């Protein structure tokens, strides 16, 4: 079982969040991304390449 990090960065807004309390998650290119708000997830899903490169 893979350990979950205690803090991750929302790839859209850059906010540090605890993945246990993420408002939303998305799988992209075999990675799980965590978001502080559903709106960040929606923005990510519109153009994931842009946000993955920026992260």
| 13-37 residue pLDDT tens | 999 999 999 999 999 999 999 999 9
pTM of the model: 0.85
Residues 41/23, Cβ–Cβ less than 8 Å: yes
Select the more confidently predicted residue: 19 or 55: 19
pLDDT band at 1 (very low <50, low <70, confident <90, very high): low
Where does 1-55 show beta strands of DSSP type E?
Answer: 8-9, 16-17, 24-28, 31-35
Average pLDDT of the segment spanning 44-51? 92
pLDDT at 4 over 90: no
């Amino acid at each position: 079982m893979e350990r979950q990090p205690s803090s991750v960065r929302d790839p859209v807004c850059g906010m540090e969040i605890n993945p246990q309390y993420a408002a939303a998650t998305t799988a992209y290119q075999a990675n799980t991304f965590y978001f502080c708000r559903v709106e960040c997830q929606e923005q990510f899903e519109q153009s994931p390449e842009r946000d993955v490169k920026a992260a």
